[in-house]
Structure 1
Amino acid sequence: MTAGCSTQKNTGKSRWWHAFNARYNTYYNGKTAYTEGALEKENGNKDNFTEIIPLYTVGNKKSRDLGKGKFDRAIEKSEKTIKLHSIKRRPEWTKNRRKTAKDIEWLNRKEYNPFLWKAWLMLGKSQFQKGNFDEAASTFSYMSRLYSTQPAIDGIARSWLARSYVELDWLYDAEDVINKMKRDTMHYKAVDEWDYAYASYYIKSGRYEEAIPYLRKAIRHEKRKKQKARLWYLMGQMYSSLNKREPAYKAYKRVIRQNPPYEVEFNARIAQTEVMAKGKGKQMIRKLRRMAASDKNKDYLDQVYYAIGNIYMAQQDTANAISAYEKGNGKATRSGIEKGVLLLRLGGLYWQLEKYNDAQRCYGEAIGLLDKDRDDYEQLSQRSKVLDELVPYTDAVHLQDSLQILATLPEKERNDAIDRVIEALKKKEKEEKRAQQEADAEKQLQQQGAIGNRNNMKKPSTGMNTSQGGVWYFYNPMAVNQGKTAFQRQWGKRENTDDWQRINRTVVNLNPNTTGEEGDTVDSLAVNDSIQPANTDSVATDTAATDPHTREYYMEQIPFTAEQKAASDEIIKDGLFNSGVIFKDKLDNLNLGKKQLVRLTSQYTDFQRMDEAWYHLFLLYSRQGNKIMADSCLAKLQADYPESDWTVLLSDPYFAENAKFGVHIEDSLYAATYDAFKADRYDEVKTNADLSAERFPMGQNRPKFIFINGLGMLNNGDAKGCLAEMKQVVEKYPQSEVAGMAGMIIKGVQEGKPLHGGKFDLGDVWTRRAINIEESDSAGTDTLSKERYTEFIFMLAFRPDSVDNNQLLYEMAKYNFTNFLVRNFDIQTDTDNGISRMMVSGFLSYDEALQYARQLYSDTDMAARLKGCRRIIISDTNLKLLGTRYSYLDYEQFFEKAFAPITVSEEQLLNIPENIEQTEEDDDEDDGKEEENDTQDMFNNNGNVPQQNGGVDFDDDFYQ
């Protein structure tokens, strides 16, 4: 029977047999798995009702992996069905019979199993439900071509192709499929599928008016109540976006009729109150307050009060809207998107009202709850960063002003004010304690299984889920932002730099009074711990003075004495200056910036940076178009601070030109100076450096000018002048890119190494040679070895951002494991002076390493993967000198002379175990012979010698 029904035969019997077996064997198992996967995705899906929900649950990224195992099985069974039961052989035709149009279509088919199209359809739908939309698109595109002679199947396949393109955001391709389908006659069996396709396309395009008719048809086709409820909710959202309140209200009502899960029903009721709030605000607010009072809504109070706040905002009642939002924030039990949206709206209101302290609090929490894919996330992130920088200064000013006022009040009024603060603190702690007790009681009830049927209802997450959908923590932006918030609560706002906890981040210690070795850094977090009081009896602190529930605690902070008042004033000065500059430059709030800076310049005339404050006031008035006040600021600077850099800058006759074109002019001047340095025109370098100091004293390239000028002095024999310039770079510009190299030069001098001239290239890492202060002065370690029979290493060197290091490590390990059965090669990775290196070790000679390199690059796939890597064969002895005494370019030139001409053994050395001694060949016979293979390109990056480009690096030794 099996032989008689081979897929190589195309008879009525074979077609029936394969269709029957495909349907009730492999396809049935796959269809069962697909159904189970679809139900798992439907039941586990959680929509974000604060935005337009997607037409398909797979559109939710967090739901994408639901049912994945089931869909994989469905794909497997579909592929097996196609493989076992596909009949592509054309049937035999009786030539004496005339062909009809139907016969011609039949003979032109590419697949003759009448059931197999369903396996193809299930394959594509399974890929679609997994979120592999590109694979699904490929499957449906092929299916459309395979069944091009059958309009019904072709129409269904093309409808799913359009949907796949829509989910990929390839709207142009989707539109092309749709337009072509409009020109053709659509088979009636494909109409239902195309209703979904049209709805999907128009929704994704934001054309809700055109999408609504098709979505209404799709709802009629839908048989699952949960999905039908989702579609009605989507319908309500689209009507609401079109400001059609009455149809939106009816759509949300249809959601409730479907008896959906409670979360969907709750959101529909909330949405109803918002769309019907116009003219019925008080009625809707009363309804929402009743919902808030219901025990079953206690986990959704943030949404209830958010809706109340929205109604107040529609009535332009900002004060009550803020009150409602704050209440929702305080009563929220979840840390999810809903709370994030509430905080985002609340933060926006505070931002408009210029209450930046409250705005920072809201934005700081919201950024950890919202997804980066939101359209307004970039604005949220930018505002949060600026406020994190601003608020500490404004808070400090406000606090010190309050404390100074308290110091001037009569004792009774001062005590009353302190008592009010203590009462507020106790009330807050009491509320927090009650909330914690309730949470503990609820948790205990859940553990005991005593909360009845409520356990059957899926409750929203009440905490931070750092691994939703099996995603690693650092791939979850919401979890990362929440972690940042927690870090800032403990450590405060810290700049994202190396050694963020240290005071001195330079490579050299310029403080001569510091004991210990040069370059030792001080841990700022351990400073207080290292200070030991002289008298241990004085360490015993007054309990009352450290307890925030007592008056003494607050009295300790009030500046009563002149010294305390002076310290408080210093904090105010710093806060006024920095907040004024931030208001001016980063918030573009010129009025608040002027308020801060004017108070500073008028009230605190002894401020150390007063010249800079007047400079910023000059810029502020200039931006406001107030030339009279701007000129008065300039006159003040010229009269009181004639030597200030800011006065020199503003007095410059080229100031206006520099303000417009200064960046470009300075860049051009630096490029010319750098070219002059490379051409040994050191007088020109000095002239340009002096011009930079005169015209661009605060330019971005100023540290580079100083650095290159110092090197020019060194090449002219002025070692002391060079050292002074390097110290200036380290002291004034510790964050610049040349500060590290300047520090290394100074450190070498501090260790007794004399200086002599050298050339640099900042950008070319391949010519860079770092200063190794520990290297020996002996000639033996300074010379590259030509020894051939010693341990060698094959190295791949590349810029850190040019190659995926982890992927490369995997590919190299896989290649070694699969190609070398008797040898084990170790792979190590490191970073050396701005170069990432992957080193394969275990070669007993140069010959082995070169054979390995040739075999590796003869593999076409590996050669393609290694694009962008520089190939280096080097001995262990020479490796120690690479990047220190000799640059990579130096070693390449050495290799071409010393090793490249050598003829290596033709024996397959890598197939010989390591414990078998190899016979040395006569090197003398091979001298002068060249390899047929192009070893000269071994070090070139894709055949190109690296070009030196615009940076600074060593060409000759700095130290003798």
Structure 2
Amino acid sequence: MKYIKKTIFLLTVFAVILSCSTRKDTVVSRNFHAITTKYNVLFNGEEAFKKGIEEVNNNYNEDWFKQIPIEPIEFDEDKIIIPTMGPGAGFGSDTKEEAKELTTFERAEEKAVKAIQKHGMNINGIERNRQIDDAYLLLGKSRYYSQRFIPAIEAFNYVIANYPNANLIAETKIWRAKANIRIDNEETAIESMKLLLVIKDTLEADLPDEIKEQAHTAMAMAYVKSDSLQKAKKHLHLATRTLKNREQGARNLFVLGQIYSGENKKDSAVYIFNKLTKFRKAPYKYKIHANIELARNFSKDSSTTTLLERMQKLIKNRDNRPYLDELYYQTAVLHENNDSIKLAINNYNKSLRAKNGGDKQKTFTYENLGNLYFKKNEYLLASAFYDSVLQVSKDSLDLRIRRVKRKHKNLASLINFEKIVTTNDSIIRIASLPKEAQKTFFETHIEALKKADKEAAQLRLNQAAFGGSFGVNSLQSNNKGKWYFYNSQSLNFGKTEFQKIWGDRILEDDWRWSAKSRKNSLNTDSTQVVQKDLRYNLEYYLASIPTKTKTLDSLKTSRNAALYELGLIYKEQFKNPELAIQRLERVASLNPDIKLELPINWHLYQIYKSLGETQKSDKHKNLILTKYANTKFAQVILNPNKKIEEDVAVNEVEEKYKEVYYLFKENKFKETIAKIDEIVATIPNSELIPKFELLKAYAIGKYKNKQAYKIALEYVAVSYGNTEEGKKAKEIVKQLSK
């Protein structure tokens, strides 16, 4: 009896196994494989896919300064990873090592393949397992996110062809349309979505809201890809009517608001962003940036008080710490538009100091600060901020960054000339002082240096001493104590810093004096070595003061030329007549080279005339008409209605160029520069100006230093970049920079 029961049991088990074969169309077999597929293999695949989607949403690096994409994913052809499934996809690839190498989407694809291969019941051309269409849809979606769009479309097409009445057929068509968009086949995607929406809407069984949202989102993606923003807006509006998918719904609203903002439709943009801020289920990153966009799209006609109050409230919220750089920046922009410049600068600086601030945000902050100081005529500070933009930026091809780079280059020559003026003025002023006054001046300077060095050294020692651990057992742990002399690491660092600054000093009074002897490291009894620190040496400074008349005259000439160049830069490049007048009037009062007298008075005449100051302009006009009656300057003054380019023929300009070129060949470089300045002022519209300017740069390079030569070439390269001369100047600058 016992053996009969065992036999019956084994026969029953064998019969069940046979009845569950994928080749037998039975009720038991169909249900067994459907349940196993849904709650085992397919369930694990769906979980892996959901995890992958979550990673995409969390890890995608948004660029909030541009219109964000409708779908938060970037595909890169160079980074495609094709999963290898081994012989017979789905088999032979379940080892733990290989599983670790798979991404979440590749794991989802592996599970989908496994479901199809192990549980598919295609009997006589008909699939009997009702879960296989879900497996094919998962397979297509996983391939889509692995950037394998053609295989993904094949999987979607299989579902559409073999399961036309499936409840997921509409979703499959949407995913196929998205895959077509990714391979630049948006027209096919649009046609398929139109058929889906129109046909289903005319049938009794309408599409669910979730499917409609997905379809309209896919349509908007296709129209954005084809630059049909009006149609994209229409479908984004339709996609955001129900907001069933909170992540994609919030994103669609944000993109829609950005489109309106880009079209300068501020009211519509504000309406959309307000709607997003009130969408309770929206992810927080969209809500906070919607508030920032509301401030960005404010109208000057409306009061900014409410917006500023809102921004301050957001700044005080501790949850917004990751966004402080953006919040402070937008607050600063609002203050700047209200002409509250001090508050604007304060908030820009807070934006820069905010932790976790993004580099791109910093470039905008630095640029705005540079622009503010540029408007205030503080060009040195402006140049420093523009330089910070270039240091932080990682996108040298961006048009905005290239514009900042151009501004920075234009300021380079100005800063150099201002430096020459400041330095030469200081040297000339000190040289003109009595000996006792010179001595007092440098003694004060040396004391200030010593004090600064002492404070800096003490600061470094303090940082080293108090930079370690302050735990209870710190003395026993690595000998790091709270007191400086219990911390061996800090003590050794302090000794090194002391020796670097003061040397190896003998223990005696007044050891800080530079003239005091130092211990010989080899033999303490040997002759003491005296080493003087030139920075603290009064004799060194006094000896460096120029006394020769020729040297002082050279400094004055160089300063006067720099002042003249500054006047031209402020007048022509920066359109700042006030600063141009200051520089030109000052150089005129310093008895400059006689060759500068005419161009200085000509430029001052033009500036005062443009400002409507007739009395001052007449003064310079009369000087030109009296002393330089036969020059072109005088002819222009006497015949103001006659165009200069008509008065000066091309061949005459060419003759003038030959004249200055011969001066250059004769090594008369100063005369060449003065002559070019004189000629250029009379032919502002001539096509030959770049040739004159390049020749002037060559002349500067012959008798001045390399830096002055480089600045002169950069001016030609920036001002006349599209000409042959400008291109030539760029090439030389590149060679000099190597």
TM-score (norm. length: structure 1): 0.43
Partner AA of 2:644 in structure 1: K
Alpha carbons 1:281, 1:311 under 8 Å: kept: yes
Between structures 1 and 2, the one with greater helix share? 2
**For the structure 1 residues 541 and 296, does the alpha-carbon distance in structure 2 shift closer, same or farther, using more than 3 Å as the test?**
farther
**Alpha-carbon shift at residue 139 of structure 1 (Å):** 0.6
Counterpart for residue 218 of structure 2? 197
Partner AA of 1:366 in structure 2: V
Alpha carbons 1:140, 1:157 under 8 Å: kept: no
Counterpart for residue 73 of structure 1? 107
Counterpart for residue 55 of structure 2? 40
**Alpha-carbon shift at residue 29 of structure 1 (Å):** 2.0
Alignment of 1:449-464 (within 5 A): none
Deviations 1:34-55 (A, max 9, x none): 2223333444455444444444
**For the structure 1 residues 597 and 333, does the alpha-carbon distance in structure 2 shift closer, same or farther, using more than 3 Å as the test?**
same
Counterpart for residue 942 of structure 1? none
Cα distance in 2, alignment partners of residues 373 and 733 from structure 1: 17
Counterpart for residue 244 of structure 2? 220
2:152 to 128, 139, 149: 139
**Alpha-carbon shift at residue 393 of structure 1 (Å):** 2.5
2:328 to 305, 311, 334: 305
Alpha carbons 2:149, 2:182 under 8 Å: kept: no
**Alpha-carbon shift at residue 596 of structure 1 (Å):** 12
Alpha carbons 2:563, 2:584 under 8 Å: kept: no
Alpha carbons 1:346, 1:362 under 8 Å: kept: yes
Cα distance in 2, alignment partners of residues 629 and 594 from structure 1: 28
Unmatched segments (≥5 aa) in structure 2: 1-15, 82-100, 475-527, 601-630, 665-671, 692-722
**Alpha-carbon shift at residue 243 of structure 1 (Å):** 0.9
**For the structure 1 residues 389 and 72, does the alpha-carbon distance in structure 2 shift closer, same or farther, using more than 3 Å as the test?**
farther
**For the structure 1 residues 192 and 555, does the alpha-carbon distance in structure 2 shift closer, same or farther, using more than 3 Å as the test?**
farther
**Alpha-carbon shift at residue 285 of structure 1 (Å):** 3.1
Counterpart for residue 158 of structure 1? 173
Cα distance in 1, alignment partners of residues 296 and 316 from structure 2: 18
**For the structure 1 residues 554 and 736, does the alpha-carbon distance in structure 2 shift closer, same or farther, using more than 3 Å as the test?**
closer
Alpha carbons 1:125, 1:136 under 8 Å: kept: no
**Alpha-carbon shift at residue 194 of structure 1 (Å):** 0.8
Cα distance in 1, alignment partners of residues 150 and 542 from structure 2: 72
Alignment of 1:315-326 (within 5 A): 315=338, 321-322=344-345, 324-326=347-349
What's the secondary structure of 2:37's corresponding residue? helix
Alignment of 1:734-883 (within 5 A): none
1:643 to 662, 679, 685: 662
Cα distance in 2, alignment partners of residues 39 and 53 from structure 1: 18
Deviations 1:861-885 (A, max 9, x none): xxxxxxxxxxxxxxxxxxxxxxxxx
The answer as to 2:533 corresponding to 1:541 is: yes
Alpha carbons 1:215, 1:235 under 8 Å: kept: no
Partner AA of 1:115 in structure 2: Q
**Alpha-carbon shift at residue 643 of structure 1 (Å):** 1.1
Counterpart for residue 770 of structure 1? none
Counterpart for residue 345 of structure 1? 368
**For the structure 1 residues 182 and 377, does the alpha-carbon distance in structure 2 shift closer, same or farther, using more than 3 Å as the test?**
farther
What's the secondary structure of 1:325's corresponding residue? helix
Alpha carbons 2:22, 2:120 under 8 Å: kept: yes
Instruction: Provide the aligned C-alpha RMSD in A.
Output: 6.7
What's the secondary structure of 2:243's corresponding residue? helix
Counterpart for residue 804 of structure 1? none
Alpha carbons 1:303, 1:328 under 8 Å: kept: yes
**For the structure 1 residues 597 and 276, does the alpha-carbon distance in structure 2 shift closer, same or farther, using more than 3 Å as the test?**
closer
Cα distance in 1, alignment partners of residues 44 and 404 from structure 2: 49
Alpha carbons 1:309, 1:322 under 8 Å: kept: yes
**For the structure 1 residues 638 and 45, does the alpha-carbon distance in structure 2 shift closer, same or farther, using more than 3 Å as the test?**
closer
1:124 to 132, 136, 140: 140
Alignment of 1:239-254 (within 5 A): 242-244=265-267, 247-248=271-272, 250-254=274-278
Counterpart for residue 73 of structure 2? 58
- The percentage of aligned residue pairs carrying the same residue is 18
Counterpart for residue 118 of structure 2? 84
Cα distance in 2, alignment partners of residues 90 and 214 from structure 1: 43
**For the structure 1 residues 578 and 237, does the alpha-carbon distance in structure 2 shift closer, same or farther, using more than 3 Å as the test?**
same
Deviations 1:213-234 (A, max 9, x none): 2342462333x6xx66656655
Cα distance in 1, alignment partners of residues 540 and 290 from structure 2: 51
Partner AA of 2:171 in structure 1: I
What's the secondary structure of 2:357's corresponding residue? coil
Alpha carbons 1:292, 1:304 under 8 Å: kept: yes
Alpha carbons 1:312, 1:321 under 8 Å: kept: yes
Partner AA of 1:84 in structure 2: K
Using the TM superposition, name which of 335-344 and 167-176 deviates more: 167-176
**Alpha-carbon shift at residue 16 of structure 1 (Å):** 4.6
Cα distance in 1, alignment partners of residues 733 and 543 from structure 2: 42
**For the structure 1 residues 273 and 733, does the alpha-carbon distance in structure 2 shift closer, same or farther, using more than 3 Å as the test?**
closer
**Alpha-carbon shift at residue 577 of structure 1 (Å):** 9.3
Cα distance in 2, alignment partners of residues 734 and 382 from structure 1: 17
Cα distance in 2, alignment partners of residues 556 and 161 from structure 1: 84
2:130 to 114, 127, 150: 114
Cα distance in 2, alignment partners of residues 362 and 333 from structure 1: 20
Deviations 1:815-868 (A, max 9, x none): xxxxxxxxxxxxxxxxxxxxxxxxxxxxxxxxxxxxxxxxxxxxxxxxxxxxxx
Counterpart for residue 329 of structure 1? 352
Cα distance in 2, alignment partners of residues 353 and 563 from structure 1: 38
**For the structure 1 residues 405 and 567, does the alpha-carbon distance in structure 2 shift closer, same or farther, using more than 3 Å as the test?**
closer
Unmatched segments (≥5 aa) in structure 1: 93-110, 449-535, 547-551, 664-698, 705-731, 739-960
**For the structure 1 residues 15 and 342, does the alpha-carbon distance in structure 2 shift closer, same or farther, using more than 3 Å as the test?**
farther
Counterpart for residue 627 of structure 1? 644
Cα distance in 1, alignment partners of residues 233 and 63 from structure 2: 22
**Alpha-carbon shift at residue 157 of structure 1 (Å):** 2.5
TM-score (norm. length: structure 2): 0.53
Cα distance in 2, alignment partners of residues 42 and 50 from structure 1: 18
Deviations 1:170-220 (A, max 9, x none): 655654554554565467254342133234445664446425423424623
Alignment of 1:236-385 (within 5 A): 237=258, 242-244=265-267, 247-248=271-272, 250-254=274-278, 257-258=280-281, 266-274=288-296, 279-286=302-309, 288-289=311-312, 300-315=323-338, 321-322=344-345, 324-329=347-352, 334-349=357-372, 356-370=379-393, 372=395, 376-377=399-400, 379-380=402-403, 382-383=405-406
Alpha carbons 2:253, 2:272 under 8 Å: kept: no
Partner AA of 1:196 in structure 2: T
1:26 to 29, 41, 51: 41
Alignment of 1:160-175 (within 5 A): 160-166=175-181, 174-175=189-190
**For the structure 1 residues 299 and 28, does the alpha-carbon distance in structure 2 shift closer, same or farther, using more than 3 Å as the test?**
closer
Alpha carbons 1:273, 1:284 under 8 Å: kept: yes
Deviations 1:30-88 (A, max 9, x none): 22222223333444455444444444332599xx9999822221122223333434455
Partner AA of 1:541 in structure 2: D
**Alpha-carbon shift at residue 380 of structure 1 (Å):** 4.2
Cα distance in 2, alignment partners of residues 600 and 169 from structure 1: 65
Alignment of 1:556-571 (within 5 A): 565=552, 568=555
Counterpart for residue 714 of structure 1? none
**Alpha-carbon shift at residue 541 of structure 1 (Å):** 2.5
What's the secondary structure of 1:220's corresponding residue? coil
**Alpha-carbon shift at residue 340 of structure 1 (Å):** 2.6
Alpha carbons 1:360, 1:388 under 8 Å: kept: yes
Counterpart for residue 694 of structure 2? none
